[in-house]
Chain A
Amino acid sequence: MAKYLSLFCLAVVFSNAFAQSPCPGQKVSVTLVVILAGEEGSTIDPRLKAIAEEVRLKFPNLTSFRLKSMATKSLVANDKTLIPVVDNRDVAVTIKHGADAEKRVCLAVTAPDQGEIVYRSVCGKFLPIVTRYQTQSRELLILAIRVQPCKDE
């Protein structure tokens, strides 16, 4: 009986271990929204209202926020992708692992003029990254990144 109990406990431990670690082949959908914020004009894209409010807490001089582009990529763990943003610059995104037991995805992001940032994030919401990159028209590059577990295709 003790032997079966210990085997059962081992099975529970292993099953928990698998539950903790994300499935290796799980696809993650990464969405990158590219925003340009400037000091001229006063138009804020309604989709960017929340991010504009946050950014303007530090940069009240930025009065216009426009959505430059948005892109979606479907990646698995250790997949790296380059997503174009502005001026032939790219953002590199690598999925470190898909959704774990806490439903968080780990990813690495390298924005223009920045080093790599690795973080774990919940799915479905955007994390803003305010870069120091300015376009020729002196607009500040802001990125917003969201991850979502992909549905099976």
Chain B
Amino acid sequence: MNASGDDTWPPSPELLAAYFDGEFEGRDDLVDVRRRLEDWLAADPGARAELAEYRRLRHLWQETTPREPAVTAWQNLLRRLESCPVRAGSLSRGAGSHAPWKMAAVLAGAAGFLLAAVLLKDSGTARDDMEPFPVASEREVVILYVEGADTGTLVVGQLPLQGPMELVDAGDVTLTSVEPAQRDNMVPDVHIAGPGRPIIWARAEGEDD
């Protein structure tokens, strides 16, 4: 079928742009569409002019490709990354669902050693130089970050939120300032004075003030 003779098929501009962007390359499922597009391009000068404009814009974009920074800038940046204290390997517990289980296993093993040491000592077969394996107490470990799903697997450590969340009451909070959102100047609804508990609500797009 010749696309130029088909009144129902001028390709949408988006489709033409997708062709220009190489989105049809290697797509066996779009072979037919590609062929019709190419037929259309061959027959329609307007479509070819459109593609020429795309080429101009692409050329302009490539002409203005940002120049790379100096090698020293990259070296400095890499040094800063390598010295960054927040490294994946040093993340606190809760960084992955496996970490707390491993920690629980280690601590269980440690507790097992301790128990064995106590039993052996009691049975009189403990060596004089065997000391209990030190296990941290709850007050000695503070959890800095934990995924919600892992909060039930911790063996020791105080969770930031232990029990039911206690919310502020009316009068507990005073507002100093609110900035609008950069994107669309949305100003949240700051419900501070009551009735009811203080709470800040973002407004949905289109919601009236």
Contact = CB atoms under 8 A, between A and B. Distances in A.
B198 A127 contact: yes
A79 interface: no
11 contacts: A54-B197, A67-B148, A68-B148, A116-B177, A118-B175, A118-B176, A118-B178, A121-B173, A122-B168, A122-B173, A130-B201
Would you call the interface of chain B mostly helix, strand, loop, or mixed?
loop
Given A106-B176, A115-B187, A119-B174, A69 B147 contact: yes
Contact of A67 (B151, B174, B201): B151
A129 interface: yes
A61 interface: no
Contacts of A66: 148
Contact of B202 (A113, A118, A121): A113
Return the 8 tightest CB-CB contacts between A and B, nearest first. A115-B179, A67-B148, A132-B202, A118-B176, A122-B172, A31-B160, A125-B168, A71-B145
In terms of DSSP, what is the predominant structure of the interface of chain A?
strand
Nearest to A106: B176
A49 interface: yes
Contacts of A129: 188, 199-200, 202
Interface residue tally on A, bucketed by range: 35 or more
A127 B165 contact: no
Nearest to B203: A132
B118 interface: no
B163 interface: yes
B181 to A, nearest CB: 5
A57 B183 CA distance: 27
A150 to B, nearest CB: 10
